[in-house]
């Protein structure tokens, strides 16, 4: 366990800490504590809600800056070594990494307490999951050893909320969420005098889309250039994932993931995962992609051949493949793959299984991988924030919530939600920008082949492609659930924030 030193400051419990009468004069409520890693690094934690304000103008007259939202942030900052000259005017050379998850509707707890932070959740992994009441353990490879960390929870996730009288749905939208997170980063950088520190954004899932959009916003609005983007379980173009009539692309891009998950569950005996993936990727990119474009123009013999090959690659029955018209959504695959065994597989992580409530249904929306980890992460974060970081708040910590829906993409009306154009421009504007990408082969939410499709269609010079590093894991969407994958991931991220490049 990390050594904890005396608490330096904390607010007295007050009306903002629970369900008492609301107050109008809101202010930041940060709590700081001093700690030390087992390695000896002394660090400070700052946990609390940052009040975001917006300039109010009426009839051309400025009426002040009115509070709009209170955003929960946990920051970890390394302390200078004793005896080191403390020049407050000198730039801090230590990198700072801003991280958030996605959803939309997810708090940052997954990256915070599953991967990056000094304390991580003891959740176990398949096939041995930790039973309640779960626990916390030290993270021996925490990124804090090499970079300061700032974890951000968008509105209605974690403890983040709009202020009294505000409207939550104002921030439940692509552009508004982007601007809010960018403003949190600008404020933190400015208040902590970190404009001349190396800066990194790390996002997971929808958080990767958010990371690219936020990086573009920081550059366009404030002139702030970041050193790198860490994209974990990537989705930058939702058109590659959304199963919609007339959009055949996602069906081909999910095929290698279906094959990999079938292999994990023993459906390809005697074959290596690499062999299964190679076959699935080649077929998806060529013959299957062609067949999907042909629709009813396929001859009977051609259709029969496609059905047979898809059945071999996925181990789904030929009847299922034929009856689905070669097109099944992932939730249908999750329900079908192990139906004969009385099981459904996970979407976030296809290694996880559970008996569905209704074995005969065609789709499985009850993700066993989410159900397996929700309890450990909820117990850990609610204990950790209060007992170890000293932050007290009686609001429920919203880990993964539907309160942000419906989520507005009005900026993309009539077009796919796609930020690859922002990334292309960032790579041009900042020729030192580097991109770290993590993929999980058993990730049914953001398949690796879909992300590769995006890179292949991203117009950029070869010199820009050389600034990407790609890291593949025999794990799921949250690859850090698997200890070996987490170790490799953290080693690569270490090299990333220190300016190097780990191997693909």
Segments making up each domain of the chain, as ranges: 94-239+373-497, 243-369
Q: Residues 6 or more apart from 225 whose CB is under 8 A from it?
A: 218, 219, 429, 430, 433
> Architecture of domain 94-239+373-497 in CATH?
3-Layer(aba) Sandwich (3.40)
Tokens standing for residue 491? 């080693």
The stretches of 109-248 forming alpha helices (DSSP H) are 109-111, 174-191, 206-222
Where are any strands of DSSP class E within 267-419? 344-345, 353-354
Give CA–CA dist 330/336, Å, rounded.
Answer: 10
Residues 263, 315: Cα–Cα separation, whole Å: 9
Taking only the tens of pLDDT, the chain with its 504 residues reads 443 333 333 333 333 444 434 435 689 999 999 999 999 999 999 999 999 998 776 677 776 788 999 999 999 999 987 656 566 678 899 999 999 999 999 999 999 999 999 999 999 999 999 999 999 999 999 999 999 999 999 999 999 999 988 888 889 999 999 999 999 999 999 999 999 999 999 999 999 999 999 999 999 999 999 999 999 999 999 999 999 888 999 999 999 999 999 999 999 999 999 999 999 999 999 999 999 999 999 999 999 999 999 999 999 999 999 999 999 999 999 999 999 999 999 999 999 999 999 888 888 888 999 999 999 999 999 999 999 999 999 999 999 999 999 999 999 988 899 999 999 999 999 999 999 999 999 999 999 999 999 999 999 999 999 999 999 999 999 999 999 999 999 999 999 999 854 434
Encode pLDDT of 201-252 as tens digits.
Answer: 999 999 999 999 999 999 999 999 999 999 999 999 999 999 988 899 999 9
Whole-number Å distance between alpha carbons of 375 and 379: 6
pTM: 0.91
Burial of 475 (0-12, 13-18, 19+ CB in 10 A): buried
Report whether the peptide linkage leading into residue 104 is cis, meaning its omega lies within 30 degrees of zero.
Answer: yes
Tokens of 493: 């991220």
Are 122 and 115 within 8 A, CB to CB?
Answer: no
Question: Cα separation of 125 and 369, whole Å?
Answer: 10
Q: Is 407 helix (H, G, I), strand (E, B) or coil?
A: coil
Question: Which pLDDT score is estimated for 84?
Answer: 61
Task: Name the phi and psi angles at 158, rounded to 5.
Answer: 55, -135
- Please give the Cα distance from 268 to 492 (Å, whole number): 31
Name residues whose C-beta falls within 8 Å of residue 267's C-beta, 6 or more positions apart in sequence. Answer: 315, 337
E strand or H helix that includes residue 66? strand 61-78
- Is residue 182 within 8 A of residue 203, CB to CB? The reply is no
Q: Residue 3: exposed, middle, or buried by beta-carbon count in 10 A (0-12, 13-18, 19+)?
A: exposed
Asked if 346 contacts 370 with a C-beta cutoff of 8 angstroms, the reply is: yes
Q: What is the H or E stretch that residue 321 is in?
A: helix 318-323
Range 172-177, long-range pairs (CB < 8 A, 24+ positions): 172/104, 172/404, 172/405, 172/406, 172/407, 172/408, 173/407, 173/408, 173/409, 173/410, 174/213, 174/407, 174/408, 174/409, 174/410, 174/411, 174/412, 174/417, 175/410, 175/411, 177/104, 177/210
Distance CA 48, CA 72 (A): 5
241: closest CA among 232, 231, 253, 257?
253
Cα dihedral 493, 494, 499, 504 sign: negative
**Buried-exposed string 206-239: b where 16+ CB fall within 10 A, e elsewhere:** bbbbbbbbbbbbbbeeeebebbbbbbbbbbbbbb
Q: What is the pLDDT of residue 289?
A: 94
């Amino acid at each position: 366990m990390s050594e904890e030193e005396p608490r330096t400051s904390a607010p007295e419990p007050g009306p903002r800490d629970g369900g008492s009468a609301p107050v109008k004069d809101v202010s930041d409520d940060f709590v700081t504590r001093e700690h030390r890693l087992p390695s000896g690094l002394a660090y400070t934690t700052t946990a609390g809600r940052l009040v975001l304000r917006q300039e109010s103008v009426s009839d051309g007259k400025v009426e002040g800056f009115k509070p709009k939202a209170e955003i929960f942030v946990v920051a970890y900052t390394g302390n200078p070594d004793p005896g080191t000259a403390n020049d407050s005017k000198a730039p801090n050379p230590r990198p700072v990494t801003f991280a958030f998850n996605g959803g939309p509707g997810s708090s940052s707890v997954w990256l915070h307490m599953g991967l990056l932070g000094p304390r991580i959740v003891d959740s176990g992994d398949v096939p041995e999951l930790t039973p309640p009441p779960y626990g916390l353990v030290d993270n021996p490879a925490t990124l804090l050893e090499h970079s300061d960390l700032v974890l951000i929870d968008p509105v209605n996730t974690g403890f983040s909320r709009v202020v009294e009288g505000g409207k939550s749905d104002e921030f439940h939208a692509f552009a508004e969420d982007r601007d809010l997170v960018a403003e949190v980063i600008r404020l933190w950088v400015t208040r902590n005098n970190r404009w001349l520190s190396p800066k990194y954004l790390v996002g997971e899932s929808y958080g990767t889309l958010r990371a690219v959009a936020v990086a573009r916003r920081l550059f366009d609005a404030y002139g702030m250039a970041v050193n790198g983007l860490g994209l974990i379980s990537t989705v930058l173009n939702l058109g590659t994932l959304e199963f919609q009539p007339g959009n055949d692309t996602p069906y081909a891009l999910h095929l290698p993931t279906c094959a990999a998950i079938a292999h994990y569950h023993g459906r390809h005996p005697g074959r290596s995962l690499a062999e299964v993936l190679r076959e699935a990727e080649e077929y998806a990119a060529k013959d299957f992609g062609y067949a999907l474009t042909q629709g009813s123009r396929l001859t009977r013999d051609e259709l029969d051949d496609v059905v047979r090959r898809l059945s071999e690659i996925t181990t789904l029955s030929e009847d299922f493949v034929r009856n689905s018209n070669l097109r099944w959504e992932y939730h249908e695959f999750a329900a079908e793959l192990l139906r004969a065994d009385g099981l459904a597989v996970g979407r976030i992580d296809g290694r996880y299984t559970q008996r569905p409530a209704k074995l005969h249904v065609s789709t499985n929306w009850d993700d066993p991988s989410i159900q397996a980890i929700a309890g450990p992460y909820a117990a850990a974060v609610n204990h950790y924030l209060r007992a170890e970081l000293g932050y007290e708040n009686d609001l429920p910590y919203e880990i993964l919530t539907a309160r942000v829906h419906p989520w507005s993409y009005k900026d993309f009306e009539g077009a796919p939600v796609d930020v690859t154009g922002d990334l292309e421009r960032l790579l041009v504007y900042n020729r030192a920008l580097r991109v770290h990408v993590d993929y999980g082969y058993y990730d049914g939410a953001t398949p690796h082949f879909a992300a590769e499709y995006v890179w292949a269609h991203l117009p950029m010079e070869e010199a820009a492609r050389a600034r990407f590093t790609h890291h593949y894991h025999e794990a799921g969407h949250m690859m850090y659930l698997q200890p070996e994958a987490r170790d490799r991931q953290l080693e690569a991220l270490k090299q990333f924030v220190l300016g190097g490049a780990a191997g693909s």
